[in-house]
A and B are shown apart, each in its own frame.
Chain A
Amino acid sequence: MLGEGILKGLAETARNFAGSFVSKERMTTVEYPEVRLPLPEAARNFPFLVYDGNDWEKGLRCVACQICEKECPPKCIYIEKSKDKKPDYVGKPQIYPAKFDIDISVCMSCQICVEVCPFEAIKMNTEFELSTDDRFGGLLLDRKELAKSNEYYHTIHPTEAREVDARLAQEKAKVEAKAKTAAEAAAAKAAAVATGASAAAATANPAAAPVASPSTTKAAEIAVAPAAATAPAAPKPVAGTGTDGPAPMTESEKKAASEPAKPGEGEPKA
């Protein structure tokens, strides 16, 4: 009959109207800003730099390797390296960024900088209420504004932060164990591999020049390979975190590249 479909439509609408007073499913409005919906844990907005401890300058994890600057698609990161070094979380002196600017009016929140950072130094923040009336300066965040503590990281992404902490603690323990075994082995075998060490030093030196820059030359890979053989494999992808895939080099591998003389770890296949 003509008009039946229209009546069905009217019935549907009336049901929604009545339902909007009683059921949550039919009244999905949330009155922002009085009520704010909690964001899921994996939400991401703009990046921030993580620092350990209480002093943001001393505890900043970033070592100005400029990997994120290179990989950032819209090129919104600007890094200037410092002239001096400061010790990182395992105690090794590293350079740090003298300037680290992110232009959040350009940043597209793609999270690639987080994925490629080998030092777990940059993570995604969830804060989105960032409006300002200063069109250019207000949206250019510098190092101080970007640095947030590890405790803050725990509050916004607890699962991820716990895994990152576990990984860093593991690396630290590994480095310390390796330093101990290295010291013991060096004392025992110093005389035997004197000639082998000089040959290894000659080939591995060019690769060791900039400590933090990811060198993909053959020599470094070969220097890395024996270290990788002994060290446990790179961090596996874990659920719900921002990192995945094998990071090109872990801390221990970097240390292996920068310290060519590693007697007892096997001959480099030069």
Chain B
Amino acid sequence: MIDRLDQIFVLLKHWILGYLPASLQTPAGVILSVVCIIGLYPALFALTTVLERKGVGRIQNRLGPNRVGPFGILQPMADGIKSLTKEDIVPTSADAVVHFLAPVILVVTVFMGFAVLPMGRNMVLVDMDAGLLFYFAMGASSELSVFMAGWGSRNKYSLLGAMRAVAQMISYEVALLLSSVVIVMMTGSLSLVKIVEAQNHYSYGFPHWFIFTPWGLAGFLMYAIAGTAETNRSPFDLPEGESELVAGYHTEYSGFKFALFFLGEYVAMFSISGLGSTLFLGGWTAPLAALQWVPSWIWFFGKLFVSMCVFIWLRGTLPRLRQDQLMNFAWKFVLPMCLLNLFVAALWRFLGEGLLRWVICSGILILAYAVMGSAEMRRKHFGPRTYRYAE
């Protein structure tokens, strides 16, 4: 029974396909899964926008939207109607083809990433051997659309914003990749399904998630920072800063195209959180051996939900970093930590089982963090200050 609940979507799919002739079953299966993904994630996006507004509202001691539907749940419907009925303004001097294709490419490439994410036991659209590589290829392609948006708008402010955004995304792409390379190193496979399988063991009731190892924790933190920067979320959202000079690469977009950019950003957030939980948090595995009776897809989406909450929490709290500080941070702090992490992971493997490797690896990482952090602050003379009073 528990197994059936766990595999309910797979069984449903097989049952529907049973009604089709054998030659059509494979393509129909693919189309069915794709339609499910394309239907599910925008629905999650709608829910997340309400969650974000209400969450940030509560952080700020106020209610979020609460007029449209009970507790404001139907707010995305109102937003959707608004964005669909707004006039779609395209500047006359803009490059029409590029201007039109930019949001399309963003949405397409972002959705492609979901093809390799395992959302539950046996619930992967395509079980590729090089799934991780495919994922990062798609992620990098989405940066193209940002630049296309800025360029096609034929507006110097949008272009500035787009160039800043692309620079930011490229720098953090390196960090993202390096922090996932550690996982590849330890599991020996690029396939996401195998990575989740490697974490599906329990000892004393606790799972073997990679986050519970020193190098995994460091990798997860670096991945989280890089992921936040990839999706242009606070505190790295200078490219789309509202109170900055340039309004960003989506200045010249209105109506539904703007909604598509918005959609693309949030779905990219889902995608990166999904990959993060697959790599570090065990994907669809349960956090305790005793809780394995809960269906696996519930765990996956639960972890996604928690990541969303953390993103929203960060957004409501932190001011944003300036562009050069952002880049400084990427190249001078995150990247060296990721390289050190690789070294530490190798050390972990070669030291063999036991307490020694825990102590040494954690020690190296903590020392490096403290040293690099204080060096960074001291170099720029940052630090808390004391003030004197007049006599």
Contact = CB atoms under 8 A, between A and B. Distances in A.
A contacts B: CB pair < 8 Å: yes
Interface of A: 1-3, 6, 9-10, 12-14, 16-17, 20-21, 26-29, 31
A95 B342 CA distance: 96
Given A3-B373, A16-B60, A31-B63, 5 more contacts: A13-B313, A16-B61, A20-B58, A26-B61, A29-B61
Contact of B58 (A1, A10, A12, A17): A17
B62 interface: yes
A1 B373 CA distance: 7
B122 interface: no
Contacts of B40: none
A5 to B, nearest CB: 9
B37 to A, nearest CB: 31
Contacts of A28: 61-62
B376 A2 contact: yes
Interface string B26-57: 00000000000000000000000000000100
26 contacts: A1-B369, A1-B373, A2-B369, A2-B373, A2-B374, A6-B317, A9-B317, A9-B318, A10-B314, A10-B317, A13-B59, A13-B313, A13-B317, A14-B313, A16-B58, A16-B61, A17-B55, A17-B313, A20-B61, A21-B58, A26-B61, A27-B62, A28-B62, A29-B63, A31-B63, A31-B66
Nearest to B221: A3
B372 to A, nearest CB: 8
Contacts of B374: 1-2
Nearest to B235: A6
A26 B62 CA distance: 8
A20 B63 CA distance: 9
Where chain A touches its partner, the secondary structure class is helix
Given A1-B373, A2-B374, A2-B376, A16 B59 contact: yes
Contacts of A10: 313-314, 317
B377 interface: yes
B255 to A, nearest CB: 30
Interface of B: 55, 58-63, 66, 313-314, 316-318, 369-370, 372-374, 376-377
B331 to A, nearest CB: 16
Contacts of B59: 13, 16-17, 20
Contacts of B63: 27, 29, 31
Nearest to A7: B317
A162 B314 CA distance: 55
Contacts of B316: 13
Query: Which of B58, B318, B369 is the most central at the interface, judged by chain A CB atoms within 10 Å of its CB?
Result: B58
A2 B317 CA distance: 17
Nearest to B366: A1
Contacts of B61: 16, 20, 26-29
Nearest to B64: A29
A9 B372 CA distance: 22
Contacts of A12: 317
A17 to B, nearest CB: 5
Nearest to A27: B61
Contacts of A1: 369-370, 373-374
Contacts of B369: 1-2
Contacts of A9: 317-318
Contacts of B58: 16-17, 20-21, 27
Given A13-B59, A16-B59, A20-B61, A2 B313 contact: no
B377 A2 contact: yes
A21 B66 CA distance: 15
B383 to A, nearest CB: 11
Query: Which of A13, A14, A21, A26 is the most central at the interface, judged by chain B CB atoms within 10 Å of its CB?
Result: A13
B194 to A, nearest CB: 33
A56 B195 CA distance: 86
B57 to A, nearest CB: 8
A229 B59 CA distance: 65
B236 to A, nearest CB: 13
A14 B334 CA distance: 26
A31 B318 CA distance: 28
A56 B374 CA distance: 78
Nearest to A25: B61
A165 B106 CA distance: 74
Contacts of B66: 31
A19 to B, nearest CB: 8
Nearest to A14: B313
Nearest to A16: B59
Contacts of A26: 61
A1 B63 CA distance: 35
Contacts of B318: 6, 9
A1 B369 CA distance: 8
Contacts of B62: 27-29
B178 to A, nearest CB: 19
Q: Which 3 A-B pairs have the closest CB atoms?
A: A2-B373, A13-B317, A20-B58
A27 B63 CA distance: 8
A10 B317 CA distance: 6
Nearest to B314: A10
A6 to B, nearest CB: 6
B99 to A, nearest CB: 38
B49 to A, nearest CB: 18
A16 B62 CA distance: 10
A129 B348 CA distance: 71
B72 to A, nearest CB: 12
A16 B58 CA distance: 7
B329 to A, nearest CB: 10
A17 B370 CA distance: 30
Contacts of A13: 59, 313, 316-317
Contacts of B314: 10
A1 B61 CA distance: 30
Nearest to B62: A29
Query: Which of B55, B59, B318, B369 is the most central at the interface, judged by chain A CB atoms within 10 Å of its CB?
Result: B59
A187 to B, nearest CB: 75
A17 B377 CA distance: 30
